[in-house]
Amino acid sequence: MIAEGCGYKLDNIMLSGGVIQRRVSELAAEIEAEYRGREVIVTGVLKGAAIFMSDLVRRVGPSVDIRMDFIAVSSYGNSSASSGAVKIVKDMDTYAEDKNVILVEDIVDTGLTLAYLRDMFTARGPGSFKTCVLLEKPARKKVDTVIDYKGFTIEDVFVVGYGLDYAGRWRHLPDIWGVVPEK
């Protein structure tokens, strides 16, 4: 078994790579339709959103002037549950005031990280601010969050793959897998 001994094991594929790629193409088309002829700073939340964001921006056509940036936050550490405390590990390199910003996140469960980031970006005075999230887990929500572009809603299962990890493992998988504790 891959990463045996880490406390978790892969259980089942929840979203296949093909299903994910079709939805990413649809999200890119929505973004392209809304931002045609304009500049957008697409900002990924590291490390989980890196693969999703890469696929997303490559599917947006040349009619949108995309600038890429990243921000890194920590709320999980090496746990399978969010601590609720958000810490900025790396901030954007691009000046966002008066710019169109789309924040790309891998997953929203409690909503605390996304709410924190929305407040932080809004305080910087962007021209517009939107969010694009691959996965939402409504069963775990603690705060309401606005998701402007959403990939999928999933049940309350810990997931890995397509950028999502457990303690740094399984990000590279093309599918999204549910994981369960090893017995």
pLDDT of residue 4: 54
- Look at the chain and report how many structural domains it folds into: 1
Is residue 85 included in any domain, yes or no? yes
Is residue 3 included in any domain, yes or no? no
Q: Is the pLDDT of residue 48 over 80?
A: yes
- From the list 35, 25, 102, the residue with the least C-alpha distance to 56 is 25
pLDDT classification of 1: cutoffs 50, 70, 90: very low
Options 55, 109, 165, 175, the catalytic residue: 109
pLDDT tens digits for range 143-161: 989 999 999 999 999 999 9
The CA angle 80-86-88, to the nearest 5 degrees, is 115
* Domain hosting residue 103, numbered range: 38-167
The token pair at 131 is 């969010």
Is residue 21 included in any domain, yes or no? no
Q: Is the pLDDT of residue 15 over 60?
A: yes
Is residue 14 included in any domain, yes or no? no
pLDDT tens digits for range 133-143: 999 999 989 99
pLDDT classification of 5: cutoffs 50, 70, 90: low
106 carries an active-site annotation: no
Q: How high does pLDDT run on average in the chain?
A: 91
Is residue 8 included in any domain, yes or no? no
131 HSE (CA, 13 A, CB side): 23
CATH of the domain at 158: 3.40.50.2020
- From the list 151, 134, 122, the residue with the least C-alpha distance to 48 is 134
pTM for this structure? 0.90
pLDDT of residue 84: 62
pLDDT classification of 105: cutoffs 50, 70, 90: very high
Is residue 103 included in any domain, yes or no? yes
The CA angle 75-12-153, to the nearest 5 degrees, is 55
Is residue 68 included in any domain, yes or no? yes
Is residue 133 included in any domain, yes or no? yes
pLDDT classification of 3: cutoffs 50, 70, 90: low
